[in-house]
Homo-oligomer: A and B are copies of this chain.
Amino acid sequence: MTSKPAGRTILASTIAKPFTEEITKTVESLSYTPKLVGLLANDDPAAAMYASWTGKTCESLGFKYELQKVDKNELEAALIRANKDSETHGIMVYFPVFGDKQDQYLQQLISPEKDVEGLNFMYYHNLYHNVRFLDPPNNEQKSILPCTPLAMVKILEYLGVYNTLLHYGNRLYGKKVLIVNRSEIVGRPLAALLANDGATVYSVDINNIQQYTRGDDLSEQRHKVIELNGDDISIESLAPTCDVIITGVPSENYKFPTEHVSNGAVVINFASAKNFNDDIKQKAGLYVPSIGKVTISMLLRNLLRLIDNKKVREEAK
Contacts and interface: CB of A to CB of B under 8 A. Distances in A.
A69 interface: no
Contact of A3 (B7, B217, B243): B217
Nearest to A283: B217
Contacts of A262: 174
B3 A219 contact: yes
Task: Point out which of A174, A198, A216, A218 has the most chain B C-beta atoms below 10 A from its C-beta.
Answer: A174
Given A163-B286, A164-B160, A165-B286, A264 B7 contact: no
Interface of A: 3, 5-8, 10, 159-160, 163-167, 170, 173-175, 198, 216-219, 241, 243, 262-265, 282-283, 285-286
B243 A286 contact: no
Given A173-B285, A174-B264, 9 more contacts: A6-B173, A6-B217, A8-B166, A160-B164, A163-B285, A174-B262, A175-B264, A241-B241, A243-B243
B160 A282 contact: no
Contact of A163 (B5, B160, B174, B283): B160
5 contacts: A160-B160, A173-B264, A175-B264, A198-B264, A243-B243
Q: Is the interface of A mostly helix, strand, loop or mixed?
A: loop
Nearest to A199: B264
B217 A166 contact: no
B175 A165 contact: no
B218 A6 contact: yes
A165 B170 contact: no
- One complex includes copies of this chain to the number of 2
A159 B165 contact: yes
Nearest to A174: B264
A90 to B, nearest CB: 32
Nearest to A264: B174
Contact of A166 (B163, B265, B282, B286): B286
A242 to B, nearest CB: 11
A119 B160 CA distance: 34
Nearest to A163: B160
A166 B241 contact: no
A289 to B, nearest CB: 15
A8 B169 CA distance: 13
Given A217-B263, A217-B283, A7 B160 contact: no
Contacts of A283: 217
A264 B172 CA distance: 8
